[in-house]
Amino acid sequence: MNSLWEQTAKCHEFESLSGDISTDVLIIGGGMVGILCAYMLQQAGIDYILVEADRICSGITKNTTAKITSQHGLIYNKLIHQFGIEKAKQYLIANECALKRFHELCNGMDCDFEEKASYVYSMDDIGAIEDEIDALSKLGFHAELETQIPLPFSIAGAVKFKHQAQFNPLKFVSSISSGLNIYEHTKVKELIDTAAITNNGKISAKRIIVATHFPFLNKHGSYFIKLYQHRSYVIALENAENVSGMYVDEDKKGLSFRNYKDLLFIGGGSHRTGKSGGNWRELREFAKKHYPNARERYYWATQDCMTLDGVPYIGAYSASTDGLYVAAGFNKWGMTSSMVAALILSDIMQGKKNPYADVFSPSRTILRPQLAVNAIEATINFLSPSAKRCPHVGCALKWNPVEHTWDCPCHGSRFTKDGKLIDNPATDDLKE
Does residue 302 share a domain with residue 242?
yes
- Residue 7, strand partner residues: none
State the angle between helix axes of 169-176 and 32-43 in degrees (0 to 180), rounded to the nearest 10.
30
pLDDT value at residue 1: 72
pLDDT value at residue 432: 64
Domain-terminating residue out of 317, 341, 360: 360
pLDDT value at residue 357: 96
Q: Cα–Cα distance between 9 and 289 in angstroms, integer?
A: 32
Q: Is 64 helix (H, G, I), strand (E, B) or coil?
A: coil
Can you spell out the DSSP letters for 230-296?
EEEEEEEEES-----SEEEESSTTS-EEEEETTEEEEEEEEEETTS---HHHHHHHHHHHH-TT-EE
Neighbours of 285 (CB within 10 A): 12
CATH of the domain at 347: 3.50.50.60
Neighbours of 136 (CB within 10 A): 20
Contacts 24+ apart (CB under 8 A), 146-152: 146/119, 146/121, 149/119, 149/121, 149/243, 149/245, 149/247, 150/241, 150/243, 150/244, 150/245, 151/121, 151/243, 151/247, 151/257, 152/241, 152/290, 152/291
- In which domain, by residue range, is 145 found? 113-164+227-306
Burial class of residue 404 (count of CB atoms within 10 Å of its CB; 0-12, 13-18, 19+): exposed
Does residue 157 share a domain with residue 28?
no
Dihedral sign of CA atoms 85, 86, 87, 91 in order: positive
Tell me the CA distances in angstroms from 333 to 113, 121, 181, 231, one per residue in order: 17, 16, 27, 13
Does residue 333 share a domain with residue 376?
no
Does residue 302 share a domain with residue 416?
no
Longest dimension (CA), the chain: 61
Does residue 250 share a domain with residue 298?
yes
Does residue 160 share a domain with residue 241?
yes
Tell me whether residue 81 is in a domain: no
Q: What is the pTM of this model?
A: 0.95
Where are the alpha helices (H) located in 47-139, listed in sequence order?
A: 76-83, 85-106, 126-138
Q: From 198, 266, 143, select the one nearest 20 (Cα to Cα).
A: 198
Q: Which secondary structure element, helix H or strand E, spans residue 341, and what is its range?
A: helix 334-349
CB 238 within 8 A of CB 244: no
CATH of the domain at 151: 3.30.9.10
Does residue 335 share a domain with residue 205?
yes
Does residue 144 share a domain with residue 233?
yes
Beta strands 48-51 and 21-28 are parallel
CB 406 within 8 A of CB 398: yes
pLDDT value at residue 69: 98
Q: Which stretches of the chain score pLDDT less than 70?
A: 432
